[in-house]
Amino acid sequence: MPLIIKIVQMIKAGIVGAAGYSGLELIKILLNHSEAEITHLFGYNSAGSRIDNMHPSLKGLIEDEIVTFDEKLIADLDLLFIALPSGQAIPYVKSAYENGVKVIDLGGDFRLTNLNDYKKYYKNEHSAQDLVNIAVYGLSEWNEQEISKAAIVANPGCYPTSVLLPLIPLLKKNLLTSDFISIVSYSGTSGAGKSLSENMIFSEVNESVRAYKVGNHQHIPEIKRYLSMFSGSSPYFSFVPHLLPITRGIYTTIQAKVNNTINEILCKNIYEKYYSESPFIRIVHPGIPEIKNVTGTNYCDIGFSINDGIITVISTIDNLIKGAAGQAVQNMNIMFGIDQTEGILKCSKKKYLKAQSA
């Protein structure tokens, strides 16, 4: 029998914003990916610096220099990740799309099709309505088919990821009897990025918890839009984000009324129905999710309890992984027809499902 050699075509990936927190996590994951390679690292203020000098944790792993973005350099890429603050991605998305390069934007510039909402909540004018209409929302567990065909993927926000994943199944099955839902979330300080601000320095956040952007957080219209899209329901909800004195992680608590006939066994069955083939969703019931159990992973842990007609659902994610870089690579895998776990989880989907059913 002749020897058959399989030639693997590596995905050539570039990263804009490589010096940031999400950029660092993208690099770590891609270095562990068997079917992708980092071709270019782009930056502005960091251009000219070696990436392992910007991120000393990468010493001995990668020595590439961060370069200024150039359309000529992206011509040979298969995919461009953009890990920049919202409001900065538009020209890079345009360049990638015009050069036939697939793109995943980790910011908020392509999540909303209503540009009035974008202007109101993100405080920026949008100059690419045509590309907004092309972009696909990258909630991996609920939009896999569309992601697989996408040229532009809008990676979900970290807070919306922690809200949508636990809430969509309950709404799809009409388990909530009230049209009002309370959502309270807590995030580590890395969610604000590396830009300096007085209220984010250690002495301001340490030994304290504070709410912020109450009623006007930029993720409110995103949660509203995609709850409706994926569940077919448009409930009223309050969303109150808080800042925790930790580096990374999101803890979300959701409360709503349920019918008295609804019990925890039924809820668990519903979650298992929708997420039995989702390698990064863990239903920890009857346990209670904790941030420390998802830190550094792409998992979303979901727990819940029902008491006196009120369901309390708790979810935890790492805001830099499942809320950013991990979900972005999960989406890349879907876009290129690769197992979703590749580069992120040290087991295949089949092994994961076998373990879950054991």
DSSP letters spanning 3-22: ---PPP-PEEEEEETTTSHH
Nearest alpha-carbon partner for 138 in 299, 277, 323: 323
Q: Which residue reads 């109450």 in tokens?
A: 214
In 10 A of CB 9, how many CB atoms?
8
Question: Could you give the CA distance from residue 327 to residue 161 in angstroms, rounded to a whole number?
Answer: 9
Backbone angles phi, psi at 35, to 5 degrees: -125, 15
- Provide the token pair at 212: 């912020």
H-helix segments, the chain: 21-31, 51-54, 71-74, 90-98, 115-122, 129-134, 144-148, 158-172, 202-205, 220-231, 264-275, 326-335, 349-357
Is 158 catalytic? The answer is yes
Question: Could you give the CA distance from residue 108 to residue 84 in angstroms, rounded to a whole number?
Answer: 9
Question: Could you give the CA distance from residue 35 to residue 144 in angstroms, rounded to a whole number?
Answer: 19
Q: Which residue reads 């808080």 in tokens?
A: 242
Question: Could you give the CA distance from residue 212 to residue 210 in angstroms, rounded to a whole number?
Answer: 6
Handedness of CA 109, 244, 295, 286 (dihedral sign): negative
Question: Could you give the CA distance from residue 254 to residue 312 in angstroms, rounded to a whole number?
Answer: 6
Q: Is 11 exposed, middle or buried (0-12, 13-18, 19+ CB in 10 A)?
A: buried
Instruction: HSE, CB side, 13 Å, CA atoms: give it for residue 60.
Output: 1
Q: Given 158, 267, 300, 347, which residue is catalytic?
A: 158
Question: Could you give the CA distance from residue 158 to residue 248 in angstroms, rounded to a whole number?
Answer: 11
Q: What is the set of active-site residues?
A: 158
